[in-house]
């Protein structure tokens, strides 16, 4: 078995040596430049625009250019007026309190595990609806979107929160009662089921 291994090793070594000598010691061996020559554009012709086409293109492009003054226009997302905010009652998918808009994302109920929650928790998407998007020195806050955690029996602003099922959170302030829904039911029948 050692003889077969020695013969195989000798033949392989002989083959590698012959291959090396034939590749690198021949007269035809030259190092070629592998980088492309970008200066040699003899066979390439690029299309050129006529003067009329250039003017037409510049005219079309000017429509989309904006002056610096137009860029500084303040854009704001409008929420509800104070009267509309006070009139909010019943079942809603969005709830406004001051400059903040709340939308229900999820409700997490305790599962009975060792590190389980003691009471249900609602996760609300909170965004500031009175913001500026341009670089101005107004006193308005930049739009902030964050997730707010509200527990059963806790407060959201002045409202008391109550979580009874996985699809809604009830907020109450005195006689005013708002039910924040995760989604709007499509019909009365779907609402009862």
Q: Please write the tens of the pLDDT for every residue from 7-46.
A: 999 999 999 999 888 887 766 555 565 666 666 666 666 7
CA dihedral 182, 183, 187, 192 (to 10 degrees): -20
pLDDT above 90 covers what percent of the chain? Answer: 14
d(CA 133, CA 112): 45
d(CA 41, CA 187): 70
Would the pTM of this model clear 0.75, i.e. be above it? no
Q: Where are the domains of the chain?
A: 82-185
C-beta contacts of 138-143 below 8 A and 24+ residues apart: 138/74, 140/76, 141/99, 143/77
pLDDT, tens digit (0-9, with 9 covering 90-100), for 90-140: 888 888 888 888 999 988 887 755 555 578 889 999 988 776 554 445 554
Between 148 and 112, the more confident residue is: 148
């Amino acid at each position: 078995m050692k003889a077969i291994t020695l013969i195989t090793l000798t033949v392989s070594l002989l083959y590698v040596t012959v291959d090396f000598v034939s590749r690198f010691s021949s007269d035809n061996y030259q190092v070629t430049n592998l980088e492309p020559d970008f200066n040699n554009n003899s066979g390439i012709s690029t299309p050129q625009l006529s003067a009329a086409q250039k003017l037409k293109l510049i005219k079309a492009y000017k429509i989309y250019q904006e002056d610096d003054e137009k860029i500084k226009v303040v854009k704001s997302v409008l929420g509800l007026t104070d009267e509309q905010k006070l009139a909010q009652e019943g079942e809603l998918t969005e709830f406004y309190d001051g400059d903040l808009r709340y939308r229900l994302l999820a409700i997490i109920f305790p599962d009975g595990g060792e590190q389980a929650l003691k009471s249900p928790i609602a996760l609300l998407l909170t965004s500031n609806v009175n913001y500026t998007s341009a670089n101005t020195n107004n006193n308005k806050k930049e739009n902030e979107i964050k997730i707010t955690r509200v527990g059963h029996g806790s407060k959201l602003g002045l409202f008391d929160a109550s979580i009874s099922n996985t699809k809604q959170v009830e907020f109450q302030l005195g006689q005013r009662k708002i039910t924040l829904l995760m989604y709007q039911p499509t019909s009365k029948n779907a609402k009862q089921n």
